Amino acid sequence: MREIFSQGVVLLDGGMGTRLIDKGLKAGELPEFWNIAYPESIKEIHQSYIKAGSKIIYTNTFGANRLKLKRAQKVSFLERFNTAAVKLAKEAAGDKVFVAGDIGPTGEFLKPYGGWEDKEFYQAFREQIEILVSEKVDLIVLETFSDLREIQIALQAAKETGNIPVFASMSFEKGKGGYKTIMGVNLEEMVQGLKEADAIGINCGGIYPGEAGEVIKEMKNFTDKPILVKLNAGKSKIVEGKVEYELGPEQFARDMVISIQAGAKFIGGCCGTTEKHIALLNELIQATAA
């Protein structure tokens, strides 16, 4: 796994939720439930990304932490959701592609914004990460966080669990005061606050692929760490009852090249991106490297 850091640009995968919705995931249904109910669908999605050129795929475990599952009254599935997800990703990956154990936020707030203690968040992350590590993921990815303290706790839990790389990524919006998460964290605060991570980046949120070059440039003022960029296919809207995203594969891939030129190391897609977006992006990466 470590050798990947000395190679060129590394292609991540694209959206998972988006693909599951296409396959029939209903509003309010847990994406992780599909790991045990429809394992072939999950594997198919992984395989399509690998075919498109992804070198790191993410497990379908974004919300499989105790606090989130408690709210959905599915805590009893915690272990199965996570172990099944790693198994499916590893079956698809074989030995050519790396599997990242995907960790999302708890969906709750720490004091004083909410009622939770740091220790409770730590335990929830630690529990999930321990399962992913014992199932032998190659790395851990913390993604789509808005609260710096929360992702710092998750990062600590990941670093204390296994001796594997940890990527840390937050979601930003562009506002009057520059790029910030919805909790008000700016790029400098993120980079300074996540020094222990092996790669730092942005994913999901409201940043367009065409704006990422500016974001990376700013991040590079504060860090030499590898930078990860995994963005949405623009904004979504409802058209005739279906969610549609602004950027088709061509425009997405073209705009993501700006990130490569600005020095992103790990790139991929988030909401609204499919294997088509990733395949075109792969073609452009190959062309850029040649």
Query: Which residues are near Zn ion by CB under 5 A?
Result: 204, 270-271
Q: Sign (positive/negative) of CA torsion 117, 106, 138, 33? A: positive
Q: Which residues pair with 200 in a beta bridge?
A: 168, 227
Nearest-CA neighbor of 231 among 174, 270, 189, 201?
Answer: 270
**Minimum distance from residue 94 beta carbon to Zn ion (Å):** 26
Nearer to Zn ion, 126 or 230 (CB): 230
Return the amino acid letter for 222. F
Q: Counting every residue, how long is the chain? A: 290
SS3 142: strand
CB 14 → Zn ion: shortest distance, Å?
Answer: 10
Q: In this complex, which beta carbon is closest to Zn ion, that of residue 131 or of residue 204?
A: 204
Is the CB of 216 or the CB of 270 nearer to Zn ion?
Answer: 270
Identify which of residues 103 and 271 has a Cβ nearer to Zn ion in the complex: 271
Q: For the CB of residue 6, give the shortest distance to Zn ion in the complex, in Å.
A: 29
For residue 271, what are its two tokens? Answer: 């909401």
> In the complex with Zn ion, which residue's Cβ is closer, 105 or 162?
105
Residue whose C-alpha is closest to residue 248's, from 281, 203, 206: 281
Closest CB to Zn ion among residues 78, 270: 270
Long-range contacts of 22-25 (CB under 8 A, 24+ apart): 22/274
Single out the residue of 169, 108, 163 nearest to residue 138, CA to CA.
163
CB of 204 to Zn ion, least distance (A): 3
- Pair of tokens at residue 46: 């992984």
Least distance from C-beta 166 to Zn ion, angstroms? 20
The single residue listed with the structure tokens 């425009």 is 251
CB of 206 to Zn ion, least distance (A): 10
Return the SS3 of 97. Answer: coil
